[in-house]
Amino acid sequence: MLMSAASELKKSKAQVFGARLFSTLILWAVVTGVFMSDNIWAFTGVFTLLGVFTVREYFQMTRAGGMPSQPRWGMFIGCAYLITVGIKIGLEGRSALDSMMAVDVAFLSLLVTGGFTLQLRRAVGGKDTVVEVAVTALGFVYVAVLFSFLPRLLVLPLPDVDQGGVSGAWLLIWLIAVTKFTDMGAYITGSLIGKHKMIPHISPGKTWQGFGGALFFSQLAGCGLYALLPDELAILGGWGWVVALGFVLALLAVIGDLAESVLKRSIGVKDSGNTLPGIGGALDLVDSLCFTAPALYFYLVWMAP
């Protein structure tokens, strides 16, 4: 009887891993197709669509968990912002980056101003009145703004790289590979040998062994791709910077994953969605990228050798 139960548990884990692997392969097939097209509109179209799904999931979570928010207003502003960013990058290329901060501030100002304006329709309901505006603003910054750094990386002016087509495509592939290998390494290592809980009060499934696997797999992806594509990834600054970035991005990927766990526990929901079998919702897919993409972007803009 005990062996049967253990067998069922193993089978369940295998099924979860198989579903996750299938979804991952499908996602990489889409990424490969978009990459091979070398068309900026293909890139921005996929990112805009994925961003819209993610914003939608965030406000679905707040509603499901009974967290005060302004889902319609938040979704409208978040989706409008992502579409605007996508169109600007598609039309203007790297020139779009010059005005992107103004776009960020304009939409955030509109979100907050409109949020308080909507509250004038009814009497103040204690703390919930302000919480609604704050949770809505958090969704915009956490999901839409942080996610928008992915398409921004596509049009960074890279020295010694042919600026035809999508200049930052290989850079983006490198970032996604490092981030997702971190996630995969943590999951595989934690599942196989995970014993010591990392942060049980936030995520009971995370272990220190899984964290070690995350760091190892991030280096495997980052250094492996850099060795294969030294010219395309020259902007990273050499082996020392690649190794350092691998560790920093891995740490941020883990924090990004845990940040979603904090959000779920605070709201009181188990999953952000079930769009992708074995992975979950769109937010589960991009939670770590929302933390790694801005870090890589600002490193390249401010610190790159």
Show Cβ contacts of residue 54 under 8 Å, excluding neighbours closer than 6 positions: 143, 147, 281, 282, 283, 286
The domain limits of the chain are: 1-37+163-305, 39-155
**Tokens coding 222:** 């980052």
In this prediction, residue 8 carries a pLDDT of: 36
In this structure, of 156-165, 179-188, 213-222, 253-262, the range with the lowest mean pLDDT score is 156-165
Q: What one-character DSSP code corresponds to residue 280?
A: B
Tell me which of 235 and 37 has the higher pLDDT: 235
> 239-297 pLDDT, tens per residue?
999 999 999 999 999 999 999 989 988 888 877 666 666 666 888 889 999 999 999 99
Q: How far apart are CA 249 and CA 220, in angstroms?
A: 13
Give the H or E element holding residue 207: strand 203-207
Instruction: Give the span between the Cα atoms of 68 and 162, in whole angstroms.
Output: 49
Q: Which residues pair with 276 in a beta bridge?
A: 280
* Whole-prediction pTM: 0.86
Each residue's pLDDT tens digit, 99-128 = 999 999 999 999 999 999 999 988 887 888
Instruction: For residue 104, give the nearest of 155, 141, 72 by alpha carbon.
Output: 141
Give me the chain's average pLDDT, please: 86
Instruction: Indicate whether 29 pLDDT > 90.
Output: no
Identity of residue 23: S
Average pLDDT for residues 200-208, to the nearest whole number?
81
- Measured distance CA(217)–CA(182) in Å, rounded: 6
Task: Tell me the β-bridge partners of 207.
Answer: 197
pLDDT at 3 (0 to 100): 37
Residues linked to residue 197 through DSSP beta bridges, in sequence order: 207
Question: Which pLDDT score, from 0 to 100, does residue 274 have?
Answer: 66
Q: How far apart are CA 97 and CA 156, in angstroms?
A: 8
**Residues 40-46: contacts with CB within 8 Å, 24+ apart?**
40/89, 40/90, 40/93, 40/154, 40/155, 40/165, 40/166, 41/90, 43/151, 43/154, 43/166, 43/169, 43/172, 44/86, 44/87, 44/89, 44/90, 44/151, 44/154, 45/86
Question: Rounded to an integer, what distance in angstroms lies between the CA atom of residue 176 and that of residue 179?
Answer: 5
Cα torsion 276, 282, 288, 294: sign? positive
The C-alpha atoms of residue 37 and residue 24 are separated, in whole angstroms, by 20
- Looking at the DSSP bridge assignments, the partners of residue 199 are 203
Question: Could you give the residue ranges of the DSSP H alpha helices within 140-168?
Answer: 146-147, 149-154
Say how far apart CA 131 and CA 133 lie, in whole Å.
5
